[in-house]
Structure formats: structure tokens, C-alpha cells
């Protein structure tokens, strides 16, 4: 477990390598936090650390964005905010992204797919401390 309070975007940039090291080889990471807490900002910073060569944007409307890395792998960025049910998520082909063996899958708003998540994945929780500060917690799960 990693637990850190970040006071600014600049501090986040310095913290990202430590967070990436804590995430290690996890291929699937879910991002939990309320609206505006900074999930997409955290995804963008991690993608940069992992060598993404594409522009990282929020996939709220497209549901999935796929980014290439300098190492030749891909990072799948999924935003399930607009989906209302597990059936809708299944219709997007989400299961393919959950069984990833190369690269990574990062999921914002993962609640509706929790019943089908694999046994092992990482959880990044981000929450407001105040207007400028966020608490970031990384947990590993084995169910």
C-alpha cells in the first residue's frame, strides 16, 4: 500500500515515479474518486512516466483510448462514467481489456465492472483534501 497527500501538480510530477514503482507489473489498474478529484490528471501523469508517445485525453465519450509507448506496448485508457450497466460495458468489449497480458489497462469509474474484474489488479483511490490537495492511495487486491 502507498498513501500520499499531494499539495500541487508540481508535487504530483515528483511523486509519479514512486507511484509507478509501487504499481510495478500490475497490468490492470482501476481509478476511484469523485468527480473532479483528478483521476484523468493522474492517468496522464502515469502515461507520461510509462513512455506514452500519444496525447492522453479523457475517453469519456469514446469510452476507450489506446496509446502507444516508446517501448512498443499499449496502454488502454477506459472511462466508464457514461455507462449505466454491466451489460453496456460488456457490449463495448471490456472483457478483452481486463484479460490483458501485455501493456496496461487503466479504468476510470470501474464500479459497474467490479463483478467481472480478475483476481489481481491495482486500485488507485484519489480524494480531495482541500481545493489544491489530493490524497492518493494505491492498493493491491487479490481476491
CA-to-CA dists, residue 22 to 17, 55, 84, 93, angstroms: 9, 24, 32, 29
pLDDT digits (tens, 9 = 90+) for 3-32: 999 999 899 999 999 999 999 999 999 999
Domains (range + CATH), the chain: 2-132 (3.40.50.300)
DSSP classification of residue 117: -
Question: Taking the model in full, what pTM does it have?
Answer: 0.94
**60 pLDDT more than 80:** no
Inform me whether the pLDDT recorded for 142 exceeds 80. no
CA–CA separation, 108 vs 47, rounded Å? 14
Per-residue pLDDT, 70: 96
Amino acid at each position: 500500500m502507498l498513501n500520499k497527500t499531494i499539495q500541487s501538480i508540481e508535487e504530483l510530477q515528483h511523486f509519479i515515479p514512486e507511484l509507478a514503482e509501487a504499481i510495478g507489473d500490475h497490468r490492470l489498474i482501476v481509478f476511484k474518486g469523485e468527480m473532479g478529484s483528478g483521476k484523468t490528471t493522474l492517468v496522464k501523469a502515469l502515461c507520461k512516466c510509462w513512455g506514452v508517445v500519444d496525447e492522453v485525453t479523457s475517453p469519456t465519450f469514446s469510452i476507450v483510448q489506446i496509446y502507444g509507448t516508446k517501448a512498443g506496448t499499449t496502454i488502454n485508457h477506459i472511462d466508464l462514467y457514461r455507462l449505466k450497466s454491466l451489460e453496456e460495458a460488456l457490449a463495448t468489449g471490456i472483457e478483452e481489456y481486463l484479460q490483458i497480458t501485455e501493456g496496461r489497462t487503466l479504468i476510470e469509474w470501474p464500479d459497474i465492472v467490479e463483478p467481472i474484474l480478475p483476481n489481481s489488479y491495482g486500485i488507485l483511490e484519489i480524494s480531495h483534501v482541500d481545493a489544491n490537495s489530493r490524497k492518493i492511495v494505491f492498493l493491491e487486491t487479490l481476491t
